[in-house]
């Protein structure tokens, strides 16, 4: 028997509404991350944001005082696992999707691509329009698979919710007459990507904690992983707000700092 205690379990952290709000760090969050790491925990940032590149998200974390090199998993990376190297992929999304596909060895193309494509990958982007919907739906009707980085209906901003990637893919899916395969939280491809990143086999991991502000994505993602869900009230679920049915958080806490306190007891 080894005298060395096992490392404490990893903590998975959503970004928006947990670590920051629109890139502005939430009070106490950088210190909380540092404290979790000081306990020997791996902290992995798991985000449905497929627009920004991993470099950009790591840079925003670094600006907030949170070094995170190699610790960010995006829904774009999860979507790329559904694509084979060498496949031609019509990107209806942002630079984060292009980056993930290139790392996968696939060939991302834009709406002006003349030939056929194998896959259409859809994520949040602001220059979506009717022509792009027509090209994407046409590609799917011609046989391409339809993959969505995430199905979030809205995306929170300081000025209120704006349409999210889920709203964009919904239009393409209706026009194409198929349902998309969704990669991001709370779906299986993201769970597989996270399990691989923390060196776990897929399957229940009740010692792992998923921290998030949205029950529909983070809470159900914890369930997909078989992990414990820690709901923080710093994002889309304000203090006192009732929870949708189906998920009971293991921890229902004010913020990330409260989790550190609870775990330290």
Within 10 Å of residue 125's Cβ, how many Cβ atoms?
Answer: 18
152 near Mg ion, judged by CB under 5 A: no
**Between 71 and 213, CB nearer to Mg ion:** 213
17 near Mg ion, judged by CB under 5 A: yes
Residue tagged 């590149």 (tokens): 53
Residue 81, SS3 per DSSP: coil
d(CA 137, CA 144): 9
* DSSP letter, residue 215: I
Cβ of residue 214: shortest distance to Mg ion, in angstroms? 5
Measured N-to-C along each axis, helices 165-176 and 130-141 cross at an angle, to the nearest 10 degrees, of 50
Cβ of residue 172: shortest distance to Mg ion, in angstroms? 24
Cβ of residue 22: shortest distance to Mg ion, in angstroms? 11
**Helices then strands, each counted (H, E), the chain:** 9, 15
**Between 16 and 99, CB nearer to Mg ion:** 16
Looking at the DSSP bridge assignments, the partners of residue 16 are 20
Residue of 9, 12, 13, 16 interacting with Mg ion (CB under 5 A): 16
Residue 127 annotated as catalytic: no
14 near Mg ion, judged by CB under 5 A: yes
Cβ of residue 14: shortest distance to Mg ion, in angstroms? 4
Q: Which residues from 220-239 bind Mg ion, rule CB under 5 A?
A: 235
Here the tokens at position 60 are 């925003």
132 near Mg ion, judged by CB under 5 A: no
d(CA 174, CA 139): 13
d(CA 42, CA 52): 23
186 near Mg ion, judged by CB under 5 A: no
**Between 205 and 256, CB nearer to Mg ion:** 256
Residue 252 annotated as catalytic: no
Catalytic (active-site) positions: 14, 16
Residues of this chain that interact with Mg ion (CB under 5 A) are 14, 16-17, 213, 235
């Amino acid at each position: 028997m080894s005298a060395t205690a096992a490392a404490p379990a990893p903590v998975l952290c959503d970004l928006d509404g947990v670590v920051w709000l629109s890139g502005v760090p939430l009070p106490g969050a950088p210190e909380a991350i540092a404290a979790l790491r000081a306990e020997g925990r791996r902290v992995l940032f798991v985000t449905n944001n497929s627009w920004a590149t991993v470099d950009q998200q790591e840079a925003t974390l670094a600006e907030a005082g949170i070094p995170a090199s190699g610790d960010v998993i995006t829904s774009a990376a999860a979507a790329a696992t559904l694509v084979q190297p060498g496949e031609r992929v019509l990107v209806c999304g942002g630079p984060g999707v292009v980056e993930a596909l290139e790392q996968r060895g696939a060939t991302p193309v834009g709406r002006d691509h003349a030939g056929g494509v194998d896959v259409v990958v859809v994520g949040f982007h602001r220059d979506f329009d009717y022509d792009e919907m027509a090209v994407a739906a046409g590609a799917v009707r011609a046989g391409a698979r339809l993959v969505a980085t995430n199905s979030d209906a809205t995306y929170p901003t300081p000025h209120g919710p704006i349409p999210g990637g889920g709203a964009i893919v919904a239009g393409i899916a209706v026009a194409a007459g198929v349902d998309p395969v969704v990669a991001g939280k709370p779906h299986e491809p993201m769970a597989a990507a996270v399990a691989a990143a923390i060196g776990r086999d897929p399957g229940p991991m009740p010692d792992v904690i998923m921290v998030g502000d949205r029950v529909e994505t983070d809470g159900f993602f914890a369930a997909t992983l078989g992990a414990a869900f820690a709901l923080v009230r710093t994002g889309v679920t304000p203090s006192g707000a009732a929870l949708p049915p189906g998920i009971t958080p293991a921890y229902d806490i004010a913020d990330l700092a409260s989790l550190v306190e609870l775990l330290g007891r």
